[in-house]
Amino acid sequence: MTRFDLTNRTAIVTGAGRGIGRALAVGIADAGAKVAVVARTATDLEEVVQEIEQKGGTAFPIAADLTASGTADEVVAKTIETLGGLHILVNNAGMNIRKKAHEVSEEEWDRVVDLNLKATFQLSQAAGRVMCEQKYGRIINIASVGGIVALRTGVAYGSSKAGVIQMTRILALEWSKFGVNVNAIAPWYFRTPLTEGVLSDETFLQEVLQRTPSGRIGDVEELVGPAIFLASDAAAYISGQTLAVDGGMSVYGF
């Protein structure tokens, strides 16, 4: 087994029905792991499972609302029961409501923070109990450069992702001594079903490109390598870090 091989590992990937989560689920399965794919929509999960199985991998769908009470424990229990263990957790499920700060309602704030931050913590907590007990685990939280730098029309989103980054540090501080590494990936704009609307606005797209030193939008496949690295033994001495995968956007200056 090479240091980047995930054979004999079992993973949970949330938000796995589309976009970034789907790419990560398929990529982690390609690296050898058995994968529990989690999302709200069962039909999306069926397609992901089919794609993984057609390539010779093993996957199990779990249709779930991660913001519902008790869901995190159920997802972890189902994964262990069905796939035989839990070694990797990728917290990818998230959402954004693009509004100016003075327009965001309490209900909208709660929806974003409950999924992006609270559900991420609850699933990390449920998985962390198992991982700390077995003295091995890898947790990867999909944050955002919006949690590092200030972005317009995203006060709830940016606040939740900044919380994810700080939570990543604290969980690493507590759990690394048990062999459980906790890290985050902070993407910039990638082409997904959730971003195609805003990126179809040519003015907005050009503004994004002007602030991206690499001069282009990312492809979701470019997130797979970083995720496999952080999930693998190659990253055994890395914990509490946030890796910006952003074409240089977070270091943009004038």
Structure tokens of 81? Answer: 């029961």
Rounded Cα distance, 30 and 22, in Å: 12
List the one residue out of 114, 93, 97 whose CA is nearest residue 157: 97
Q: What is the DSSP string of 64-116?
A: --TTSTTHHHHHHHHHHHHHS---EEEE---------GGG--HHHHHHHHIII
Q: How far is CA 110 from the centre of its chain?
A: 19
List the one residue out of 219, 225, 248 whose CA is nearest residue 20: 219
**Residue in this structure with the two tokens 């999302």, named with its chain if needed:** 39
Structure tokens of 80? Answer: 């262990």
Phi first, then psi, for residue 10 (nearest 5°) are: -125, 135
**Residue in this structure with the two tokens 């709830």, named with its chain if needed:** 156
Rounded Cα distance, 49 and 55, in Å: 10
Q: Answer yes or no: 157 catalytic.
A: yes
49-61 b/e with 16+ CB inside 10 Å = b? Answer: bebbeeeebbbbb
Say which of 136, 157, 237, 252 is annotated catalytic. Answer: 157
Catalytic residues: 157
